[in-house]
Structure 1
Amino acid sequence: MVELAPTLNFRDVTVRPIRLRDAREVERLLLENRGWLERWEASLPAIPGPLVTQFSVRQAIRNLLANARQGLGMPYLVEYRGRVVGQLSVSGITGGSLNSASLGYWIVEEVAGHGIIPTAVALVTDYFFLTRGLHRMEICIRPENGPSLRVVQKLAFRYEGRRYRYIHIDGDWRDHECFALVAEEVPDGVLARWQHTVNTPAD
């Protein structure tokens, strides 16, 4: 099988391509973290309830991989110290004069707030900017989702405004705050900039 996405590492965090055989583990994590994740899960307007209960995780992974083979997305799992703790997907990859993509993620409650997702987002964004030549990466987050907002704040993604009733989430159309970076803003990479900020003493 051709590896559609590279494996990326920094310290205890690994971001690796998702595989069909990961379906059982991903489903277990989603079910165990239902109360933590449910209100942020995508839904369909015509069908009540979150998508994870409507379609099998196995089929969802098949769809992500098919999308990746068409060059439209890149799906990853996030591991911490060798254990799967979340998922990250790049979607809507568009070349040409737009040369942009969107990024989304989730993590289990047990390890949220430990810098794992910011590291994963930085690794993947750097790969797309520095290796794939992408120009712009966008992350859209519900204004009520404090933990996800802290990720883009840590990485200094630039706020671009609110998108009204943008995505169907948890049974209704929800507003999202839009954040983005372009490659010129981080010539040395997102991870390097964040680590420099973390390691620079405050005045």
Structure 2
Amino acid sequence: MRYGPVGLRLVKPRDARVLQRELLDNRAWLQPWEATIPGGTAGFDMRAGIRRLLQQHRDGAGYPFVMEYDGEVAGQLNVWGIARGSLASATIGYWVSERFAGRGITPTAVAMATDAAFDQFGLHRMEICIRPENHASLRVVQKLGFRYEGLRRRYIHIDGDWRDHYAFALTQDEVPRGVLARWVSGSAPQEAAAIPPHDAMQS
């Protein structure tokens, strides 16, 4: 998948070295938003991580992507937690290197991945959960018109503790022309992602 200089492709085992280097070089940038395991220690075995992601892909439980900018690896995007059947839903998670921030890579990649989930993967609903402090990611869902669904208390273990998250989602019927086309045309309803005052005050 590609739009302009932004590309999205399945991760490959040979991506391990460059992805690990990007993660290590971006520790201060990424650590506040990284998932952790309660009582566990962080590991950086990217080869093992990619093997797990590709196994999940083979099992139909996820779609692990690499984000590229002008052919250079810029980060990762994972469609994970796929539920089939009557739910037909999944969640998107991502990270982008600091040197690529501000170039529209993440919203473009999220839009392409969501369109693929609806048009190719047979899903009905896509969700993104974001820490209230992550202003860059909040701008992504605002740009794309993801709909705010609520505050989830102590939802995911991030950076060493259980953190609150805002939940946003889109369903296929909300974007009949596609997420990317809606954003590029300037018709995404940015107010859809607005945080109600009672949730903004409590977070």
TM-score normalised to structure 1 length: 0.90
1:5-154 to structure 2, matched below 5 A, reads 8-48=1-41, 51=42, 54-154=43-143
Distance 2:163 2:21 in 1: 27
Q: Which amino acid aligns with 1:37?
A: L
Q: CA RMSD in A?
A: 1.3
Q: Which amino acid aligns with 2:122?
A: G
Do 1:14 and 1:79's aligned partners in 2 also have CA atoms closer than 8 Å? yes
Distance 1:63 1:165 in 2: 26
2:185 aligns to what SS in structure 1?
helix
Distance 1:128 1:90 in 2: 8
Unmatched 5+ stretches in structure 2: 188-203
Do 1:165 and 1:175's aligned partners in 2 also have CA atoms closer than 8 Å? yes
Cα shift at 1:132: 2.2
1:181 aligns to what SS in structure 2?
strand
1:93 aligns to what SS in structure 2?
strand
Distance 1:114 1:91 in 2: 25
Cα shift at 1:125: 0.5
Do 1:113 and 1:147's aligned partners in 2 also have CA atoms closer than 8 Å? no
Deviation >4 Å, runs of 4+: none
Cα shift at 1:21: 1.0
TM-score normalised to structure 2 length: 0.90
After superposition, the C-alpha distances for 1:152-199 in whole angstroms (9 at most, x for unaligned) are 11001000011100010110000110000000000010000001107x
Q: What number of residue pairs does the alignment pair up?
A: 188
Unmatched 5+ stretches in structure 1: 1-7, 199-203
Cα shift at 1:145: 0.4
